[in-house]
């Protein structure tokens, strides 16, 4: 007797909230992973039809080509201002900004701090790769001490350029924040945890709980001059020493 053939079934597919387009990102870049995780959360929460994302100048400048929901392009550092306007005019929409360390922690640092202080009810996804990725790898506000970049050839020196900004710790200290966490992409376990934090940050907004903020440590093999695999090791061995992973603020952890 011949054994019965098993009927194939799909166990993995592209999220509805992610377009069928090829990413332009460098090999090993973390943006594509975060894009998928956001899209998966949007699908799970069934909010695709009312989600609006905001992407500024940076490596993710073409994010509107990848997300299958409304996206807006913002001036450098200004996504929090646009998010504030959209959310106040259309409070039923789910609004998030998707920002890099140059955009959020440099030119846009005042925007993000005051949006948080006002307890604006939108979500921020902050991609921290400790470098200015789009412009060629110059020092960023989050560049580690001793880290070599195009503008710190001998490594970042505290006496000359100060210390890296720890945005999650800063945001969590502001009264207007409700959920603040830092995650990473350097292992499968951490990718899965990042996905859970993304969903939680969006749930805070859905329930009207105020400003939610998720920082994600992301690899940049091109500007770090490392292989994709070594970039993940560098996050684990070096970045997490400065930027500890975990939840910094979770005001309604017992409710949701």
Report if residue 206 sits inside a domain.
yes
Report if residue 79 sits inside a domain.
yes
pLDDT tens across the length of the chain (256 residues): 455 667 777 777 899 999 999 999 999 999 999 999 999 999 999 999 999 999 998 888 899 999 999 999 999 999 999 999 999 999 999 999 999 999 999 999 999 999 999 999 999 999 999 999 888 889 999 999 999 999 999 999 999 999 999 999 999 999 999 999 999 999 999 999 999 999 999 999 999 999 999 999 999 999 999 999 999 999 999 999 999 999 999 998 877 6
- Structural contact between residues 114 and 100, judged by C-beta atoms closer than 8 angstroms: no
Rounded to 10 degrees, the C-alpha dihedral 112/34/47/203 comes to -60
Q: How far apart are CA 147 and CA 54, in angstroms?
A: 30
Report if residue 40 sits inside a domain.
yes
Report if residue 166 sits inside a domain.
yes
Containing structural domain, residue 239: 31-250
Report if residue 163 sits inside a domain.
yes
Report if residue 101 sits inside a domain.
yes
CATH number (domain holding residue 195): 3.40.50.970
Q: How far is CA 71 from CA 9, 95, 111, 140, 245, in A?
A: 33, 10, 19, 26, 29
Q: How far apart are CA 23 and CA 163, in angstroms?
A: 33
**DSSP count for the chain of H helices, then E strands:** 10, 7
Report if residue 14 sits inside a domain.
no
The count of domains in the chain is: 1
Q: What is the CA radius of gyration of the chain?
A: 19
Report if residue 35 sits inside a domain.
yes
């Amino acid at each position: 007797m011949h054994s019965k053939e098993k009927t194939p079934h799909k166990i993995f597919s592209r999220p509805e909230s992610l377009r069928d387009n090829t990413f332009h990102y460098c090999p090993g870049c973390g943006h594509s992973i975060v894009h998928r995780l956001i899209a998966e959360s949007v699908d799970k929460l069934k909010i695709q039809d009312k989600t609006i994302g905001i992407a500024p100048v940076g490596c993710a400048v073409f994010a509107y080509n990848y997300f299958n929901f409304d996206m807006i392009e913002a001036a450098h550092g200004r996504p929090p201002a646009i998010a504030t306007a959209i959310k106040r005019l259309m409070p039923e929409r789910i609004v998030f900004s998707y920002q890099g360390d140059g955009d959020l922690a440099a030119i846009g640092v005042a925007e993000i701090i005051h949006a948080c202080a006002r307890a604006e009810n939108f979500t921020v996804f902050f991609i921290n790769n400790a470098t200015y990725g789009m412009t060629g790898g110059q020092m960023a506000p989050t560049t580690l001490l001793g880290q070599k970049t195009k503008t710190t050839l001998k490594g970042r020196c505290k006496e000359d350029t100060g210390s890296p900004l720890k945005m999650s710790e800063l945001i969590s200290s502001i009264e207007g924040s409700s959920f603040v966490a830092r995650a990473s992409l350097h292992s499968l376990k951490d990718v899965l945890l990042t996905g859970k934090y993304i969903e939680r940050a969006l749930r805070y907004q859905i329930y009207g709980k105020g400003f939610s903020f998720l920082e994600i440590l992301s690899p940049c093999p091109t500007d770090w001059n490392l292989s994709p695999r070594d970039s993940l090791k560098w996050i684990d061995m070096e970045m997490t020493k400065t930027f500890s992973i975990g939840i910094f603020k979770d005001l309604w952890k017992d409710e949701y």
